Amino acid sequence: MPGSRTAGSARSVYNGAGFRSSGRTALVMAGDDESFRFVLRSILQDRLGFPEVVETTSSEAAIKLLRCGGDICLVLFDLNMPGMNNWQNLRAVRECFPLVRMAVVSDSRDRHDILMALSIGLHGYVYKGAGIAELVRAIGLIDEGMVYVPSFLPDLRVTGSEMAVGHETVINQIEPEIVQSMTSRQKEILRLLVDGKSNKGMARALNLSEGTIKFHIAAVFRILGASNRVEAAISGATLLQGSLRGQP
Protein backbone atom coordinates (compact mmCIF):
# COMPACT_ATOMS: atom_id res chain seq x y z
CA MET A 1 0.00 0.00 0.00
CA PRO A 2 1.39 3.47 -0.90
CA GLY A 3 2.88 5.59 1.82
CA SER A 4 4.13 4.57 5.22
CA ARG A 5 1.95 3.10 7.93
CA THR A 6 2.45 3.79 11.60
CA ALA A 7 0.39 1.68 13.96
CA GLY A 8 0.03 2.20 17.67
CA SER A 9 -1.43 -0.12 20.23
CA ALA A 10 -5.22 -0.21 20.36
CA ARG A 11 -6.44 1.58 23.44
CA SER A 12 -8.91 4.09 24.81
CA VAL A 13 -7.67 7.57 25.63
CA TYR A 14 -9.28 10.12 27.91
CA ASN A 15 -9.76 13.34 25.94
CA GLY A 16 -11.30 15.63 28.52
CA ALA A 17 -14.88 14.69 27.70
CA GLY A 18 -14.75 10.93 27.98
CA PHE A 19 -12.97 7.84 26.70
CA ARG A 20 -12.58 7.41 22.97
CA SER A 21 -12.78 3.89 21.62
CA SER A 22 -10.12 2.37 19.39
CA GLY A 23 -10.54 1.01 15.86
CA ARG A 24 -10.20 4.31 14.00
CA THR A 25 -7.63 5.31 11.40
CA ALA A 26 -6.27 8.74 10.50
CA LEU A 27 -4.83 9.41 7.05
CA VAL A 28 -2.10 12.03 6.81
CA MET A 29 -0.93 13.36 3.46
CA ALA A 30 2.23 15.23 4.36
CA GLY A 31 5.41 16.51 2.75
CA ASP A 32 9.02 15.70 3.51
CA ASP A 33 9.09 17.55 6.84
CA GLU A 34 9.79 14.55 9.04
CA SER A 35 9.66 16.56 12.26
CA PHE A 36 6.14 17.82 11.55
CA ARG A 37 4.99 14.35 10.51
CA PHE A 38 6.32 13.07 13.84
CA VAL A 39 4.35 15.77 15.67
CA LEU A 40 1.15 14.83 13.83
CA ARG A 41 1.63 11.12 14.55
CA SER A 42 2.23 11.84 18.22
CA ILE A 43 -0.86 14.03 18.49
CA LEU A 44 -3.10 11.59 16.66
CA GLN A 45 -1.92 8.49 18.51
CA ASP A 46 -0.85 9.64 21.95
CA ARG A 47 -3.21 12.56 22.52
CA LEU A 48 -6.30 11.72 20.44
CA GLY A 49 -6.23 7.93 20.68
CA PHE A 50 -5.98 6.90 17.04
CA PRO A 51 -4.63 3.33 17.07
CA GLU A 52 -3.38 3.69 13.51
CA VAL A 53 -2.01 6.55 11.43
CA VAL A 54 -1.42 6.01 7.71
CA GLU A 55 0.91 8.38 5.86
CA THR A 56 1.07 9.01 2.14
CA THR A 57 2.89 11.53 -0.02
CA SER A 58 0.58 11.75 -3.04
CA SER A 59 -3.03 12.70 -3.67
CA GLU A 60 -3.52 9.62 -5.86
CA ALA A 61 -2.45 7.31 -3.03
CA ALA A 62 -4.67 9.16 -0.55
CA ILE A 63 -7.73 8.76 -2.78
CA LYS A 64 -6.93 5.09 -3.35
CA LEU A 65 -6.75 4.52 0.40
CA LEU A 66 -10.06 6.30 0.93
CA ARG A 67 -11.73 4.19 -1.75
CA CYS A 68 -10.56 1.05 0.01
CA GLY A 69 -12.89 1.97 2.84
CA GLY A 70 -11.79 0.61 6.19
CA ASP A 71 -11.72 2.69 9.35
CA ILE A 72 -10.39 5.98 7.95
CA CYS A 73 -12.42 8.70 9.64
CA LEU A 74 -10.04 11.67 9.58
CA VAL A 75 -7.85 13.00 6.76
CA LEU A 76 -5.29 15.81 7.04
CA PHE A 77 -4.16 17.23 3.70
CA ASP A 78 -0.95 19.22 3.38
CA LEU A 79 -1.80 22.18 1.17
CA ASN A 80 1.74 22.21 -0.24
CA MET A 81 1.53 18.70 -1.67
CA PRO A 82 1.04 18.24 -5.44
CA GLY A 83 -2.64 18.12 -6.32
CA MET A 84 -3.74 19.54 -2.98
CA ASN A 85 -3.26 23.21 -3.86
CA ASN A 86 -6.17 23.02 -6.29
CA TRP A 87 -9.43 23.88 -4.53
CA GLN A 88 -11.55 22.06 -7.11
CA ASN A 89 -9.61 18.85 -6.45
CA LEU A 90 -10.11 19.21 -2.71
CA ARG A 91 -13.81 19.94 -3.17
CA ALA A 92 -14.18 16.80 -5.29
CA VAL A 93 -12.47 14.64 -2.67
CA ARG A 94 -14.64 16.14 0.06
CA GLU A 95 -17.83 15.44 -1.92
CA CYS A 96 -16.80 11.87 -2.76
CA PHE A 97 -16.26 10.96 0.91
CA PRO A 98 -18.83 13.01 2.84
CA LEU A 99 -18.64 10.91 6.02
CA VAL A 100 -14.90 11.44 6.51
CA ARG A 101 -13.66 14.42 8.51
CA MET A 102 -11.20 16.39 6.35
CA ALA A 103 -8.96 19.36 7.07
CA VAL A 104 -6.01 21.21 5.59
CA VAL A 105 -2.67 21.61 7.34
CA SER A 106 -0.56 24.44 5.97
CA ASP A 107 2.18 26.92 6.77
CA SER A 108 0.20 29.63 4.97
CA ARG A 109 -1.59 32.33 6.95
CA ASP A 110 -3.24 33.71 3.81
CA ARG A 111 -6.86 34.79 4.31
CA HIS A 112 -7.91 33.48 0.90
CA ASP A 113 -6.53 30.01 1.62
CA ILE A 114 -8.39 29.81 4.94
CA LEU A 115 -11.71 31.03 3.58
CA MET A 116 -11.52 28.81 0.51
CA ALA A 117 -10.77 25.72 2.62
CA LEU A 118 -13.85 26.38 4.71
CA SER A 119 -16.06 27.42 1.80
CA ILE A 120 -15.54 24.11 -0.05
CA GLY A 121 -16.71 22.19 3.00
CA LEU A 122 -13.49 21.15 4.71
CA HIS A 123 -13.77 20.83 8.47
CA GLY A 124 -10.88 23.07 9.38
CA TYR A 125 -7.67 24.87 8.52
CA VAL A 126 -4.76 23.94 10.77
CA TYR A 127 -1.73 26.21 10.79
CA LYS A 128 1.55 24.30 11.01
CA GLY A 129 3.18 27.06 13.01
CA ALA A 130 0.74 26.77 15.90
CA GLY A 131 2.02 25.46 19.22
CA ILE A 132 1.53 21.84 20.24
CA ALA A 133 -1.39 22.67 22.52
CA GLU A 134 -3.22 24.51 19.74
CA LEU A 135 -2.52 21.73 17.23
CA VAL A 136 -4.00 19.20 19.66
CA ARG A 137 -7.01 21.45 20.22
CA ALA A 138 -7.54 22.08 16.50
CA ILE A 139 -7.33 18.46 15.38
CA GLY A 140 -9.34 17.31 18.39
CA LEU A 141 -12.18 19.71 17.62
CA ILE A 142 -12.25 18.62 13.98
CA ASP A 143 -12.32 14.98 15.05
CA GLU A 144 -15.17 15.73 17.45
CA GLY A 145 -17.36 17.02 14.63
CA MET A 146 -16.61 20.74 14.79
CA VAL A 147 -15.20 23.17 12.24
CA TYR A 148 -11.92 24.74 13.34
CA VAL A 149 -11.10 28.32 12.32
CA PRO A 150 -7.60 29.59 13.27
CA SER A 151 -7.72 32.42 15.77
CA PHE A 152 -5.40 34.64 13.71
CA LEU A 153 -7.87 34.94 10.82
CA PRO A 154 -7.25 38.66 10.30
CA ASP A 155 -9.81 41.23 11.33
CA LEU A 156 -12.78 38.90 11.36
CA ARG A 157 -13.20 39.32 15.11
CA VAL A 158 -13.33 35.57 15.63
CA THR A 159 -14.64 34.80 19.10
CA GLY A 160 -14.01 31.65 21.06
CA SER A 161 -17.49 30.32 20.27
CA GLU A 162 -17.05 31.01 16.55
CA MET A 163 -13.74 29.14 16.37
CA ALA A 164 -15.47 25.81 16.89
CA VAL A 165 -19.03 25.48 15.68
CA GLY A 166 -21.08 22.78 14.03
CA HIS A 167 -20.37 22.21 10.35
CA GLU A 168 -23.91 22.92 9.21
CA THR A 169 -23.84 26.20 11.11
CA VAL A 170 -20.70 27.50 9.43
CA ILE A 171 -21.00 26.27 5.88
CA ASN A 172 -24.14 27.48 4.17
CA GLN A 173 -24.66 26.20 0.64
CA ILE A 174 -25.18 29.46 -1.26
CA GLU A 175 -26.59 29.33 -4.76
CA PRO A 176 -24.69 31.73 -7.07
CA GLU A 177 -28.01 33.17 -8.23
CA ILE A 178 -28.63 34.61 -4.78
CA VAL A 179 -26.21 37.41 -5.54
CA GLN A 180 -28.70 38.73 -8.09
CA SER A 181 -31.01 39.63 -5.22
CA MET A 182 -28.34 41.80 -3.60
CA THR A 183 -28.10 45.52 -4.17
CA SER A 184 -24.86 47.10 -5.38
CA ARG A 185 -24.24 48.41 -1.87
CA GLN A 186 -24.75 44.97 -0.33
CA LYS A 187 -22.24 43.51 -2.80
CA GLU A 188 -19.73 46.17 -1.77
CA ILE A 189 -20.32 45.32 1.88
CA LEU A 190 -19.81 41.61 1.17
CA ARG A 191 -16.49 42.30 -0.59
CA LEU A 192 -15.32 44.30 2.40
CA LEU A 193 -16.43 41.57 4.83
CA VAL A 194 -14.34 39.03 2.93
CA ASP A 195 -11.42 41.47 3.02
CA GLY A 196 -11.77 41.64 6.80
CA LYS A 197 -12.73 45.29 7.09
CA SER A 198 -14.17 46.51 10.39
CA ASN A 199 -17.39 48.54 10.48
CA LYS A 200 -15.30 51.67 10.90
CA GLY A 201 -13.10 50.69 7.95
CA MET A 202 -16.15 50.07 5.78
CA ALA A 203 -17.66 53.41 6.77
CA ARG A 204 -14.43 55.16 5.82
CA ALA A 205 -14.09 53.28 2.51
CA LEU A 206 -17.69 53.91 1.45
CA ASN A 207 -18.10 57.35 3.04
CA LEU A 208 -21.08 56.16 5.09
CA SER A 209 -21.96 56.28 8.77
CA GLU A 210 -21.30 53.22 10.93
CA GLY A 211 -25.03 52.99 11.59
CA THR A 212 -25.70 52.67 7.87
CA ILE A 213 -22.95 50.07 7.58
CA LYS A 214 -24.56 47.99 10.35
CA PHE A 215 -27.89 48.18 8.52
CA HIS A 216 -26.34 46.84 5.30
CA ILE A 217 -24.39 44.13 7.15
CA ALA A 218 -27.60 42.89 8.76
CA ALA A 219 -29.19 42.68 5.30
CA VAL A 220 -26.22 40.72 3.94
CA PHE A 221 -26.37 38.31 6.90
CA ARG A 222 -30.07 37.74 6.24
CA ILE A 223 -29.57 37.06 2.53
CA LEU A 224 -26.70 34.63 3.14
CA GLY A 225 -28.28 32.97 6.16
CA ALA A 226 -25.20 33.95 8.18
CA SER A 227 -25.19 34.64 11.90
CA ASN A 228 -21.76 36.28 12.17
CA ARG A 229 -18.93 37.84 10.14
CA VAL A 230 -17.03 34.56 9.82
CA GLU A 231 -19.96 32.76 8.21
CA ALA A 232 -20.64 35.71 5.89
CA ALA A 233 -16.97 35.88 4.85
CA ILE A 234 -16.83 32.14 4.13
CA SER A 235 -19.94 32.33 1.95
CA GLY A 236 -18.72 35.53 0.34
CA ALA A 237 -15.35 34.00 -0.55
CA THR A 238 -17.17 31.40 -2.64
CA LEU A 239 -19.36 33.98 -4.36
CA LEU A 240 -16.36 36.18 -5.11
CA GLN A 241 -14.88 33.36 -7.18
CA GLY A 242 -17.79 33.73 -9.56
CA SER A 243 -20.55 36.24 -10.04
CA LEU A 244 -19.16 39.01 -7.84
CA ARG A 245 -15.62 39.03 -9.23
CA GLY A 246 -14.97 41.75 -11.73
CA GLN A 247 -18.14 43.66 -11.00
CA PRO A 248 -17.84 47.38 -10.23
Kindly report the CATH class assigned to 5-167. Answer: alpha beta
The predicted model scores a pTM of 0.62
Check: CB of residue 109 under 8 Å from CB of residue 127: yes
| HSE-CB for 247 with a 13 A CA cutoff | 18
Please state, in angstroms and rounded to a whole number, the distance separating the CA atoms of residues 164 and 32. 30
Give me the chain's average pLDDT, please: 76
Mean pLDDT of 164-191: 66
What are the phi and psi torsion angles at 139 (to 5°)? -65, -35
Check: CB of residue 89 under 8 Å from CB of residue 36: no
Domains 5-167 and 176-240 share a fold: no
Q: Give 109-160 pLDDT, tens digit per residue.
A: 887 788 888 888 899 999 999 999 999 999 999 999 888 888 777 444 443 3
- 63-to-51, 67, 211 alpha-carbon distances in Å: 21, 6, 50
pLDDT category, 85, cuts 50, 70, 90?
low
Tell me which of 74-78, 115-119, 210-214, 235-239 is least confident. 235-239
| HSE-CB for 150 with a 13 A CA cutoff | 25
DSSP category for residue 124: B
3-state secondary structure of 33: coil
For the chain, the distance separating the N- and C-terminal CA atoms, rounded to the nearest angstrom, is 52
Domain ranges of the chain: 5-167, 176-240
> Domain 176-240, what fold?
Arc Repressor Mutant, subunit A (1.10.10)
Check: CB of residue 188 under 8 Å from CB of residue 206: yes
DSSP result, 131-143? -HHHHHHHHHHHH
Q: Which helix (H) or strand (E) holds 7?
A: strand 5-7
